[in-house]
Amino acid sequence: MRNPPARPQTLASLILIGLFSLGLHAPVHAHAADTKPDAKPEAKADAKSDIELPPLSEDKKVHQSITLNGKVLNYDATVGAIKVRDAKGKVTAEVVYTAYVVPGADAKRPVTFAFNGGPGAASVYLNLGAIGPKRVQFGDAGNVPSDSSELKDNAATWLDMSDLVFIDPVGTGFSRSLEDADKTKADFYATEPDIKYLSRVVYDWLVKNGRLRSPKFVMGESYGGYRAPRIAYHLQTQLGVGVKGLIMVSPYLDPAAIGDDTALSPLPWMINLPSMAAVQLETQRRLTPGAMQEVESYVRQQYALDLFAGRSDPAAIARLVTKVSGLTGVDAQVVGRLDGRLDIGTFLREVHRADKKIGSIYDANVTAWDPFPESADRKSGDPILDALIAPTTSAMVDFITREVGWKTEARYNALSYDVNNAWDRAATKQDKPVSDLRKAIANDPNMGVLIVHGYNDLACPYFASRLIIDQMPKMGSSPVRLSVYPGGHMFYSRDASAQAFKRDARALYGL
């Protein structure tokens, strides 16, 4: 999922989170050393880190089981760390992972590597919310921080299809840099080094566990969906590891298309409107693929034409106001003041204003009480984002430290504001993950690609991926597939959507 910026959280900053840059001049540090460090005393002194932290626990493993479809599946749950080294072999970071492996399987058993986004989000959301063997409830209507953090078996786990490895980037979970703040930012908190060291972590795990012959899948959510195609291409072309399939969950794929509320391009308005309409359709219990197809057809045709006509055309404005108000449920007078261009912030405030509640950007039908209903501007955090920190953090720390027995004195960061604030955003719109997706597919036309979204997600609206896929050239016999489910950014918090997601994934895994 996306990670928030520093508080106070404005709607604009929540939307724009994830617009991040190329770290083109950051040093490459994720390669294992082939040479020994300089043995001179002064060189050793220079190389010594000023960061002195207690050592992490040795890797710990426990045997567990889950019953799926009436059958018992035994597996090993492991929490461990992989060292990141610079070109001279110096350890610059330690990346902690959680792996679930079915013992005794042959080399044909797949292994899936999963990343969340932010930047600044740990992998706990895909782990304990989507595909791991255990689950804690979060991200759905009615979930609150004081809900139980007790883990239960996940009926929608993918463990019967693949071994699972959840990786926490530096600064998230228990993963940590061993460098000072400036070096950490240069070596880890920018786009280019992020892709390189995380790809190397995948490679090192495969070597460490003797799994280079296994079919390999890469999954990423939100900004992790941005990472996934770039990691796949880097693995293919730089580290010599082929990727069998990509799964992008609520991905953030095109920074340039997001724009802002003053954008000349109609794309931002076009991308957002279908998800706003889905919120209203779900409220009316009329959300179906057919209903959404009608919305999409309107957006591609008359809506786009009226936006291009501009504010100088009164007839176009009148058509926009009538149609947008009808699709979203927002009062026509409000939409009229905006000339038919309904921004996300206004929508989330107005669609639930009668109830004195606010909607979440991650699923606009998940609401919270507005603590300042008299204010013209929203002054509170996101209903989902603020509510999920407690259950996910408590559940993950309890699992790692008590169940698995991997001990540490460090704090667990499910969402790190520090990482997000330090991230290099200097060249946001120059970065094009879709280019690496195209190149990865062209390089390996047999690689399957599944992109999945929730209808109600306004942080990473599904229609952006629809438009991107429609513009991609056809390469090979495995087209990029898009599936959209009821729910929002974390649609998998809904049982039916989680099961539908798994059914679609089975085809990708050839099952």
Show me where the domains of the chain are located.
11-256+389-508, 259-382
196 pLDDT exceeds 60? Answer: yes
Lowest-confidence range among 49-53, 210-214, 256-260? 256-260
> Taking the model in full, what pTM does it have?
0.89
Q: Please, are residues 228 and 251 in contact by the beta-carbon 8 Å criterion?
A: yes
Q: What pLDDT sits at residue 259?
A: 57
Structure confidence by residue, pLDDT tens digits, 468-500: 999 999 887 778 999 999 999 999 999 999 999
Q: Please, are residues 246 and 232 in contact by the beta-carbon 8 Å criterion?
A: yes
Structure confidence by residue, pLDDT tens digits, 230-284: 999 999 999 999 999 999 999 988 766 665 666 678 899 999 999 999 999 999 9
Q: What pLDDT sits at residue 488?
A: 96
Q: What pLDDT sits at residue 142?
A: 66
Instruction: Give every CB contact of residue 128 below 8 A, 6+ residues apart in sequence.
Output: 134, 135, 136, 151, 392, 395, 396, 399
237, 242, 246, 252: CA torsion to nearest 10: -20
- The length of the chain, given as a count of residues: 511
Q: What pLDDT sits at residue 149?
A: 80
Q: What is the mean pLDDT of residues 329-333?
A: 96
Q: What pLDDT sits at residue 28?
A: 34
- Of residues 80, 61, 64, the one with CA closest to residue 72: 64
Lowest-confidence range among 188-202, 257-271, 319-333, 414-428? 257-271
Structure confidence by residue, pLDDT tens digits, 287-307: 999 999 999 999 999 999 999
- Of residues 167, 116, 12, 163, the one with CA closest to residue 388: 116
Lowest-confidence range among 67-76, 141-150, 434-443, 475-484? 141-150
- State the Cα–Cα distance between residues 328 and 283, nearest whole angstrom: 10
pLDDT band at 464 (very low <50, low <70, confident <90, very high): very high
Instruction: Give every CB contact of residue 348 below 8 A, 6+ residues apart in sequence.
Output: 11, 358, 359, 360, 361, 364, 378, 458
- State the Cα–Cα distance between residues 81 and 221, nearest whole angstrom: 22
Q: Strand 91-101 relative to strand 163-167: parallel, antiparallel, unpaired? A: antiparallel
Architecture in CATH for domain 11-256+389-508? 3-Layer(aba) Sandwich (3.40)
Q: Please, are residues 222 and 184 in contact by the beta-carbon 8 Å criterion?
A: no
